[in-house]
Amino acid sequence: MARVILGVTGASGSIYALKFAQILKDAGVELHLIFSETGLEVARFELGQEGLVELKSLAHKRYDAKEFWTAPASGSSDFDAMVVLPCTMGTMGAIANGISSNLIHRAADCQLKEQRPLILAIRETPLNEIHIKNMLRLATAGATLFPAMPAFYTRPATIDELAFSFAGRIAQFLDIEVKGLPVWTPNS
Ligand SMILES: Cc1cc2nc3c(=O)[nH]c(=O)nc-3n(C[C@H](O)[C@H](O)[C@H](O)COP(=O)(O)O)c2cc1C
């Protein structure tokens, strides 16, 4: 993995995006960052100004979600993977139905059409029938649904640890090295 697009939408869980961006930095992977309009607002609210500044600073390049004259809008740009983290039901619905009304939707559409990895860390509860049908459409179209469900079996002591282990699972799935990722070990 050399170049990864990270789409940050307006679902709860911006801390996962920050942890994932830190992991990419440590692994020497280029981060191409796109906030949706609400994603930026929710990130500011959940991370605070300091956390938001850190997240932005970890990007190799940042794009405006309204800007289509950019590399992520083209399938020929050859990004290795795209992760939407966290991913709203709205963004999932747009991607599931091919509605490329912002750069996150369009970049995700490109990943699918070029058969390159697309991970959606969806977050909502409870789920309605529309959400579930959209998940099935996306799984069938080649996306990986990675619900933002952090694990407690690594016994995290802090929210930071919890978020790191979830973001680390996504990175690990993409074969990106994650230093210090807590692992669950079987008894036998
Ligand atoms: C504080 C806050 C938390 C939200 N959390 C979620 C969420 O977890 N999941 C979700 O689907 N939408 C959530 N929303 C609603 C979305 O932000 C809203 O539907 C928005 O239009 C999504 O646009 P986007 O997908 O372009 O970011 C939240 C909104 C706010 C203000």
Distances (CA, A) of 48 to 43, 51, 53, 55, 171: 7, 5, 9, 11, 24
Q: Which atom of ligand 1 is nearest to the CA of 89?
A: 11
CA of 177 to the centre of ligand 1 (A): 30
Q: Is the residue at 40 inside a domain? A: yes
Q: Note the pTM of the prediction, 2 decimals.
A: 0.97
Within a domain: residue 113?
yes
Written as one string, the DSSP assignment of 86-147 is: EE-HHHHHHHHTT---SHHHHHHHHHHHTT--EEEEE--SS--HHHHHHHHHHHHHT-EE--
Please give the distance, rounded to the nearest whole angstrom, from the Cα atom of residue 12 to the centre of ligand 1: 7
Q: Examine residue 131 and state whether it is found in any structural domain, yes or no.
A: yes
**Residue 110 located in a structural domain:** yes
The pLDDT assigned to 182 comes to 87
98 inside domain: yes
Tell me which residues have their CB closer than 6 angstroms to ligand 1: 9-12, 36, 38-39, 42, 45, 88-91, 123-124
Give residue 187's pLDDT. 86
29-81 pLDDT, tens digit per residue, is: 999 999 999 999 999 999 999 999 999 999 999 999 999 999 999 999 989 99
For residue 25, is it within any domain? yes
* pLDDT recorded at residue 34: 98
List of the chain residues with pLDDT < 50:
none
Indicate which CATH number applies to the domain containing 116: 3.40.50.1950
- Domain count along the chain: 1
- Domain holding 46, by residue range, is 3-173
